[in-house]
Amino acid sequence: MNRRSFISILGLGAALAMAPAVVLAEDHLAEAVKHTKEAIDHGKMGHADVLTTHAEAALQHAEAAEKAKDNEHTKQGITHLKAAIEHGKMGHADVATGHAQEALTHLEAAEK
């Protein structure tokens, strides 16, 4: 095997090894956005308990996305999701919804 072939194969292997992490981060981010939208919808209906459930699912996905790929918008989204969960557990659907909307803004920015 000549040097050029070896380097090409090595580069391709490295690219394939790194690709799943990027894809997984995007999948987690998409799931976080989906659950955050659900949280907002239920919060607007006054369902603080269901908002909390979706915000917790969104938080898990956002944290996994942040672990796979560092992003300031994802970090801000996580902060607002935690606040949404906290207020949702207290039954403050309106405040929790506001935090979920802020989280959504940041998570969608992280997707771009």
The answer to whether residue 75 sits within a structural domain is yes
Return the pLDDT at 51: 96
Return the pLDDT at 112: 86
Return the pLDDT at 88: 97
Token reading at 102: 């802020």
The answer to whether residue 9 sits within a structural domain is no
| Number of structural domains the chain divides into | 1
Return the pLDDT at 52: 96
The answer to whether residue 16 sits within a structural domain is no
Return the pLDDT at 9: 72
The answer to whether residue 79 sits within a structural domain is yes
Return the pLDDT at 15: 57
Cα distances (angstroms) measured from residue 70 to each of 1, 21, 30, 65: 38, 12, 15, 8
Instruction: List pLDDT tens digits, range 70-101.
Output: 999 999 999 999 999 999 999 999 999 999 99
Query: What CATH number corresponds to the domain at position 35?
Result: 1.20.120.660
Return the pLDDT at 2: 72
The answer to whether residue 65 sits within a structural domain is yes
DSSP-derived 3-state class of residue 91: coil
CB 28 within 8 A of CB 61: yes
User: Which range of residues forms the domain containing residue 73?
Assistant: 21-111
The answer to whether residue 73 sits within a structural domain is yes
Q: Which residues of the chain have pLDDT under 70?
A: 1, 6, 8, 10-26
The answer to whether residue 8 sits within a structural domain is no
Return the pLDDT at 45: 97
Please classify residue 70 by burial: count the beta carbons closer than 10 Å to its beta carbon, then call 0-12 exposed, 13-18 middle and 19+ buried.
exposed
The answer to whether residue 5 sits within a structural domain is no
